[in-house]
Amino acid sequence: MKIKNRISSPLRRHSSTKVRAPRKLCSCAELRAQQQSRTGAPDGEGDFKIPEPLRVNQNELCVALERAALSGSKTGRAARSLMKVLQPHLLKEEDDLLQTLGLLVPLANGQLHSGMHEVTAKTEHLKARMFEIMREHVKIIEAARKLLHAARAEKKLSLAAFTERLMLRAWTDEVVFYPAAILIGEYLKLKNSVRT
């Protein structure tokens, strides 16, 4: 994401104060592209595609957080701190969790094929990481609370509302999305054992 400095060059030449260039932030989309280029893995294929509403939600979270980080003052600093813990978590979540949830619709429609059984390794990995995930959520919520307090203090009400939605999303992950993904893996294991 490139940010243009809005101060024109004639003004900049005559200004006695130094103008700092805005700090470039690395968006979730950029981090995702870097990760894919390192691993060579495409962004979810076939049944393992992230459900579109969840993909849109992830992207909106990242964009809103990047805007907040560029807003300056305490909210900007708090948003940058939140980005440091949230972005890596979101990328792991896309692979471990959201792609697995892409199987919900096909499975609910009775579609089952052998390629789906590969997801059981992901869900086992997810179960093994649950303590680490919860620890990450604690850090995310802690950073989000700081952003919420800063946004309220600076009367940035839309940012405060966004932060509350982000905190709700973390809770939804814990009580809906993660259990649903693990249930998908257990269901596929059960179906596989019945077939053999």
Residue 27 in 3-state DSSP?
coil
Instruction: Dig out the tokens for 36 from the structure.
Output: 């894919």
Task: Answer yes or no: is pLDDT of 54 > 60.
Answer: yes
Q: Single out the residue of 133, 129, 98, 122 nearest to residue 28, CA to CA.
A: 98
Asked whether the predicted pLDDT for residue 9 surpasses 90, the reply is no
pLDDT at 20: 41
pLDDT in tens, 13-37: 333 444 343 444 555 656 556 555 6
* C-alpha–C-alpha distance, residues 151 and 160, integer Å: 5
pLDDT value at position 118?
Answer: 86
Note the pLDDT of residue 32.
57
Sign of CA dihedral 186, 124, 107, 169: positive
The full set of domain ranges for the chain reads 44-195
> Residue 189's closest CA among 120, 124, 105?
120
pLDDT over 90 for what percent of the chain? 55
Find the range with the poorest average confidence among 21-35, 41-55, 85-99, 160-174. 21-35
Mean pLDDT of 49-70: 89
User: Do residues 91 and 50 lie in contact, with contact meaning Cβ atoms separated by under 8 Å?
Assistant: no
Nearest to 27 by CA among 71, 68, 59, 49: 59
Q: Kindly list the distances between the CA atom of residue 45 and the CA atoms of 48, 93, 99, 103, in Å, as whole numbers in the listed order.
A: 5, 16, 9, 11
Q: What is the pTM assigned to this prediction?
A: 0.75
DSSP alpha helices (H): ranges in 19-129? 28-39, 52-69, 73-93, 99-101, 104-108, 119-128
- Predicted confidence at residue 5, as pLDDT, reads 40
Q: What is the pLDDT of residue 183?
A: 96
Q: What is the mean pLDDT of the chain?
A: 81
Bin 186: left if φ > 0, else alpha if -120 < ψ < 50, else beta: alpha
Residue 154 has a pLDDT of: 95
User: How far apart (Å, rounded) are the C-alpha atoms in residues 3 and 41?
Assistant: 29
**Residues 119, 101 contacting (CB under 8 angstroms):** no
pLDDT of residue 34: 59
pLDDT per residue over 127-164, tens digit each?
A: 999 999 999 999 999 999 999 999 999 999 999 999 99
Eight-class DSSP state of 117:
G
